[in-house]
Amino acid sequence: MSSPTSPAHPTLQVSCLCAEWCGTCKDYQAQFASLQQVFPQVAFQWIDIEDEAELVDPIEVDNFPTILIARQGQARFFGSITPHLETLRRLIQAHLEEDGAGTHPDGAVQALAARLLRRPS
């Protein structure tokens, strides 16, 4: 089950791809959600890759947590990170400060970012 939290006009969209059975994900979910207070201009989504397999397919997520950061439906970052709040905070801040940063080169990741942008809140 996903739990999106989004401002009216988000600067960035940050999605965490995890799994219900993953202990690391369970521990990380509250930390991930707490960043909405720090970055109110960012939309956050928690995506369970098994409950929402059709949304994530064909992407294989092997490591948790895996983060997707997109701006206007264009993926800027996709990868697993260490499950520490400060790591994600710095990553989000860096993407907020980048203006014309390039997009992620993987077409499947770009397609996922576009699907997440169109996804109802």
Q: What is the pLDDT of residues 19-65, one digit of tens each?
A: 999 999 999 999 999 999 999 999 999 999 999 999 999 999 999 99
Q: Does residue 103 form part of some domain?
A: yes
Q: Does residue 61 form part of some domain?
A: yes
Q: What tens digit of pLDDT does each residue of 82-120 get? A: 999 999 999 999 999 876 567 778 889 989 998 888 886
pLDDT higher than 50, residue 4: no
Query: Any idea what the CATH number is for the domain that residue 67 is in?
Result: 3.40.30.10
Q: Does residue 62 form part of some domain?
A: yes
Tokens standing for residue 87: 């790591």
Q: Which residue has the higher pLDDT, 40 or 11?
A: 40
Tally of domains in the chain:
1
Angle between helix 23-38 and 85-97 (nearest 10): 40
Q: Does residue 4 form part of some domain?
A: no
Q: Does residue 113 form part of some domain?
A: yes
Contact call for residues 40 and 11 (beta carbons, < 8 A): no
Length of the chain equals 121
Q: Does residue 1 form part of some domain?
A: no
3-class SS of residue 44: strand
Contact call for residues 18 and 48 (beta carbons, < 8 A): yes
Domain that holds residue 36: 12-118
Q: Does residue 102 form part of some domain?
A: yes
Q: How far apart are the first and last CA of the chain?
A: 13
Q: Does residue 49 form part of some domain?
A: yes
